[in-house]
């Protein structure tokens, strides 16, 4: 009986778009509306280069003028700014030993595609935490950071009151905040206080946690150090996501001596906090998560309230 090999079941031109689409479907970040796929960013991610320039018009400023039949209005100019995103170039290879169970399925290409897509969904979430660590740590981003961790006793603990204070950093734009990313220990702490509401949005899906009417994304990648937890508040579309073209996104190979099939998957993508420009540099062709997490690599471009992200540092005990 002939052995089924990876090359027998993977059709790259079908596999590649399936993995990209399925990754978005599996991503909690996309489901919550925090990360919004964008056709314009798809095009920019395919334009070449290590960074992507995203020009924007600054808001109109200045007071209005009283109309007069003897004095003309004074024209004011509109200014432009430039946000900068960095292209992330990542890849991963698996041997058939890791995918053996997928090869026994009714539709092995789809089964393998689901495994690969789930992997990339997890990696995107991990990468985003690194991006946020760096971007929100930038010196220019203090207006979007609420840190109560140095408070005495209960003053350092997350609760409804200081959570509202964190929201208030965006002033009259605070209603744009719709989701929260928090460590599982923070979710458990709030659940013990009966402050988490679990909603079953459909019979086919598990219950979804909400806090203060905002969807909760539980991720143990959210930073915790010395008992200080970092929680993130997001508005819809706070993170732009684009998928670029890769010369050879999917390849298969075989190690004949070991008897292993190999699947190689590569991705070029953008995962960018809108309004905070990448100004850093990478040692390689694209920054690592460690390089993304450097505060000196980011600089605020938008007005604070127009950046739909708040970083909230607190304790739970």
Beta bridge partners of 285: none
Q: Is the pLDDT of residue 3 over 70?
A: no
Quick check: helix, strand or coil at residue 264? strand
Selection from 14-28, 87-101, 191-205 with the highest mean pLDDT: 14-28
What percent of the chain lies above the pLDDT cut of 90?
62
Q: How many CB atoms lie within 10 A of CB 151?
A: 13
pTM of the model: 0.86
Question: Of 31-45, 60-74, 97-111, 265-279, which range is least confident?
Answer: 97-111
What's the pLDDT at 204?
A: 58
60-87: pLDDT as tens digits? 777 888 888 888 888 887 766 788 999 9
Q: State the average pLDDT over residues 106-112.
A: 85
Q: Which helix (H) or strand (E) covers residue 87, if one does?
A: none
Is 107 or 263 the better-scoring residue by pLDDT? 263
What's the pLDDT at 270?
A: 94
What's the pLDDT at 1?
A: 42
Question: Dihedral angle at the C-alpha atoms of 53, 43, 234, 121, nearest 10 degrees?
Answer: -130
**Total count of residues recorded for the chain:** 317
């Amino acid at each position: 009986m002939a052995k089924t090999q990876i090359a027998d079941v993977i059709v790259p031109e079908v596999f590649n778009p399936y993995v990209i689409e399925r990754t978005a479907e599996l991503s909690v970040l996309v489901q919550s509306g925090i990360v919004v796929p964008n056709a314009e960013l798809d095009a920019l991610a395919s334009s070449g280069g290590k960074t992507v320039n995203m020009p924007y018009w600054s808001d109109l400023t200045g007071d209005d003028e009283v109309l007069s039949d003897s004095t003309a209005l004074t024209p004011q100019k509109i200014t432009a700014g430039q946000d900068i995103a960095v292209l992330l170039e990542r890849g991963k290879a698996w041997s058939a030993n890791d995918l053996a169970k997928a090869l026994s399925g009714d539709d092995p290409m789809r089964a393998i595609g689901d495994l690969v897509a789930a992997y990339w969904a997890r990696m995107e979430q991990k990468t985003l935490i690194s991006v946020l660590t760096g971007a929100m740590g930038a010196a220019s981003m203090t207006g979007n950071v609420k840190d109560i961790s140095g408070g005495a006793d209960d003053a350092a603990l997350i609760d409804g009151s200081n959570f509202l204070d964190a929201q208030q950093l965006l002033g009259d734009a605070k209603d744009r905040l719709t989701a929260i990313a928090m460590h599982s220990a923070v979710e458990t702490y709030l659940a013990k206080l009966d402050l988490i509401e679990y909603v079953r949005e459909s019979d086919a899906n598990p219950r979804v946690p909400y806090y203060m009417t905002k969807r909760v994304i539980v991720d143990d990648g959210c930073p915790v150090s010395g008992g200080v937890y970092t929680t993130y508040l997001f508005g819809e579309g706070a993170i732009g996501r684009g998928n670029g073209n890769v010369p050879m996104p999917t390849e298969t190979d075989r190690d004949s001596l070991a008897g292993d099939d190999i699947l190689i998957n590569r991705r070029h993508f953008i995962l960018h906090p809108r309004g905070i420009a990448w100004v850093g540099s990478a040692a390689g062709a694209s920054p690592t998560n460690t390089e993304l997490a450097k505060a000196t690599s980011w600089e605020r471009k938008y007005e604070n309230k127009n950046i739909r992200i708040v970083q909230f540092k607190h304790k739970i005990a």
